[in-house]
């Protein structure tokens, strides 16, 4: 099954911090583990602890503004973005470049409380789902993460919901086809 890039959004308590040396930071949890988000009625998703471990170690994750790759606030390889996974979720802080007016404006918007949301963009490497009482519950076990974002609207945009519905439908179809093939193989062995 082809995996599509997805984005997960959270209302967070992003905070700003100014250090005595003049450094400015935006920090907080970009994702919270085991917090279910309703993708659409009856379908929920949560992120499992450890889902970001490989990405933190192996990817050069960027911090963006509203998922805009032209608006980079920080980057792991430049040591302007620090990320770590703990028992609560994916915590991080990005150092604001005082010479970048867009970054300073983003910092000011978070500081005033105008922006409180965050998100991360990922490809699902490993996920599970189960049906309970007619509802579907997805758990992302490993998320190949390339970016975290400070976001204006911490909600699932309709385009992302549609992509997830398609992904879910493809998963169900593949599961049914796998069961059909296994049944055909068993019947073939019985008739042989």
Name the helix (H) or strand (E) containing 63.
strand 62-65
pLDDT of res. 157 = 42
Buried b (16+ CB within 10 A) or exposed e, 102-119: ebeebbebbbeeebbbbb
Q: Is residue 21 part of a domain?
A: yes
Pairing of strands 81-85, 37-40: unpaired
Q: Is residue 72 part of a domain?
A: yes
The vertex-187 CA angle with 181 and 189, nearest 5°, equals 105
Q: Is residue 179 part of a domain?
A: no
Strand partners, 124: 143
Tell me which residue range forms the domain holding 63.
6-156
Read off the pTM.
Answer: 0.73
Q: Is residue 172 part of a domain?
A: no
Contact call for residues 2 and 67 (beta carbons, < 8 A): no
Q: Is residue 183 part of a domain?
A: no
Task: Please name the residues in contact with 45: beta carbons below 8 A apart, sequence gap of 6 or more.
Answer: 8, 36, 37, 39, 137, 138, 139, 140, 164
pLDDT of res. 164 = 45
How many domains is the chain built from? 1
pLDDT of res. 156 = 41
Q: Is residue 186 part of a domain?
A: no
pLDDT of res. 188 = 74
Q: Is residue 85 part of a domain?
A: yes
pLDDT by residue for the chain (192 residues), tens only, comes to 445 666 665 556 777 888 877 789 999 888 889 988 877 788 888 999 999 999 999 999 999 999 899 999 999 999 999 999 999 999 999 999 999 999 999 999 999 988 888 888 888 899 998 988 888 898 999 999 999 999 887 544 433 433 444 555 555 566 567 767 777 777 777 766
φ/ψ region of 163 (left if φ > 0, alpha if ψ in -120 to 50, else beta) reads alpha
Q: Is residue 129 part of a domain?
A: yes
pLDDT of res. 102 = 95
């Amino acid at each position: 099954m082809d995996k599509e890039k997805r984005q997960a959004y959270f209302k967070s308590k992003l905070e700003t911090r100014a250090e005595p040396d003049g450094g400015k930071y935006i920090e907080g949890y970009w994702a919270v583990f085991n917090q279910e988000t309703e993708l659409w009625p009856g379908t929920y998703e949560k992120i499992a602890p450890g889902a970001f471990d490989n990405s933190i170690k192996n990817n050069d994750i960027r911090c963006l503004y509203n998922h805009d790759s032209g608006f980079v606030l920080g980057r792991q390889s430049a040591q302007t973005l620090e990320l770590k996974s703990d028992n609560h979720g994916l915590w991080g802080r990005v150092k604001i470049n005082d010479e970048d007016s867009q970054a300073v404006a983003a910092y000011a918007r978070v500081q005033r409380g105008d922006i409180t949301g965050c998100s991360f963009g990922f490809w699902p490497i490993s996920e599970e789902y189960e049906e309970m009482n007619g509802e579907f519950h997805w758990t992302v076990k490993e998320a190949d993460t390339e970016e975290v974002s400070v976001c204006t609207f911490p909600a699932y945009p309709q385009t992302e919901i549609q992509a997830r519905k398609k992904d879910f439908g493809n998963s169900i179809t593949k599961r049914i086809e796998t069961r059909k093939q296994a049944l055909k193989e068993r019947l073939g062995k019985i008739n042989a």
